[in-house]
Structure 1
């Protein structure tokens, strides 16, 4: 189970539904390895990932005048943090299908906040937390920096549609080197409640996914997305 950090608040109810959209190869890698891939924070497309807003950065620069290593530490810390992003939504999201799956062979994992918390297997090698992302104006609003995880729990308002909750792993203390990211041990049966197949996929594809999941020894509920169901007139 994830560690408790008194500085990080997760306001969502444990039964809050969350989703992860991914392609078949990543899904199979998750099931076969029983490990969840987390991307290194500075490898995301958003170049502001893990950085500070302008008001906070100006304050940090003042504090760094007599201690230049202070600012440098914050810059390099992004290389030591890995993130797994999940989307909070009661229902499927057409936009998330479009953004995070490249073709009609995508998969959506449905879980809950509570399942994410219980799926994490404690590790001695690094710190791990779950937090909900705050969306702010990076030109005007302040990001606190009294906790090293805070920069990774804030994003620009233009990303509000993501409604993101994150699993965050920090390997700084044990001097691990992250390349593209990190794979962490998880309880797959806790992590996944249900699987949805891409709304534009063919029936043969759904049957293929069902067969593959069974062969790997899992028994998840698998459904075809109904976002493309027949129109009733």
Structure 2
């Protein structure tokens, strides 16, 4: 279920458009299982995920001098936090197509902040929060640690192009083992407003996706990416 957290920054407009770029196999897994995969925070490619900036780490080290468990808790906490990443943008992103899809056979889910919030109501076992990632200089800027989610809502400035919105869940109070991540229940019809097909895909691929979605009884709109539309002279 979606829960508000006053400490986590989020765009005020629920109609703010967000995107998720993925390959066909992950897309079909989402439709068939009706579950959204959330990755364990320490399994991302960026090794800084869930860690602190240098000024914050120095402060935590001082606090840990007589209490080493304090620092150890923050280190182990990364294994219990799961994340689903979305890209905030009014339009498609050429960079996101390049980074998150391969072989011209990817898709992009278009949704909104409000739709994400409603889609998460289908999950009753785990609480989810939604927040906008802050991009900072990890050598100079301070990350507060009065909220357990804060280390996971900051990234290095070099990732600013991602413009990331995160669905995030803390499972530290649960006696469950998380390997690569966790799947949560979602309302697919709320989650997905529209599907865009990779700009370099062939017509057969679009027809295949339309047929698969139709056979699974979903009615959302499917379009070819606008990035490869005909040139008008």
Change (3 A) 1:164 1:125: same
Q: Which runs of at least 4 in structure 1 moved beyond 2 Å after TM superposition?
A: 121-127
Report the CA distance between 1:82 and its aligned residue.
0.7
SS at match of 2:20: strand
User: Aligned pair 1:27/2:27, yes or no?
Assistant: yes
Q: Which runs of 5+ in 1 are unaligned?
A: none
Change (3 A) 1:25 1:165: same
2:37 aligned residue: 37
Change (3 A) 1:215 1:123: closer
Query: Within 5 A, what are the aligned runs for 1:50-65?
Result: 50-65=50-65
Report the CA distance between 1:139 and its aligned residue.
0.3
SS at match of 2:58: helix
Structure 1-normalised TM-score? 0.97
Q: Is the 8 A contact 2:40 2:182 kept in 1?
A: yes
Q: Is the 8 A contact 1:133 1:153 kept in 2?
A: yes
Change (3 A) 1:118 1:206: same
Report the CA distance between 1:126 and its aligned residue.
3.4
Query: Within 5 A, what are the aligned runs for 1:188-207?
Result: 188-207=188-207
Q: Is the 8 A contact 2:36 2:186 kept in 1?
A: yes
Q: Which runs of 5+ in 2 are unaligned?
A: none
Q: Is the 8 A contact 1:35 1:183 kept in 2?
A: yes
User: Aligned pair 1:17/2:14, yes or no?
Assistant: no
SS at match of 1:219: coil
Report the CA distance between 1:121 and its aligned residue.
2.7
Q: Is the 8 A contact 1:2 1:122 kept in 2?
A: no
2:107 aligned residue: 107
Report the CA distance between 1:89 and its aligned residue.
0.4
1:51-102 Cα distance to aligned partner (Å, 9 max, x none):
0000000000000011100000000000001100000000000000000001
Of 124-133 and 155-164, deviating more is 124-133
SS at match of 1:6: coil
Whole-angstrom distance in 1 between the partners of 2:47 and 2:222? 36
User: Aligned pair 1:5/2:2, yes or no?
Assistant: no
1:9-50 Cα distance to aligned partner (Å, 9 max, x none):
313411000000000000000000000001110000000000
Q: Is the 8 A contact 2:123 2:186 kept in 1?
A: no
1:116 aligned residue: 116
2:87 aligned residue: 87
Whole-angstrom distance in 1 between the partners of 2:52 and 2:198? 36
Aligned length: 233
Q: Is the 8 A contact 1:12 1:113 kept in 2?
A: no
Q: Is the 8 A contact 2:109 2:192 kept in 1?
A: yes
Q: Is the 8 A contact 2:18 2:111 kept in 1?
A: yes
Report the CA distance between 1:6 and its aligned residue.
2.1
Whole-angstrom distance in 2 between the partners of 1:129 and 1:122? 14
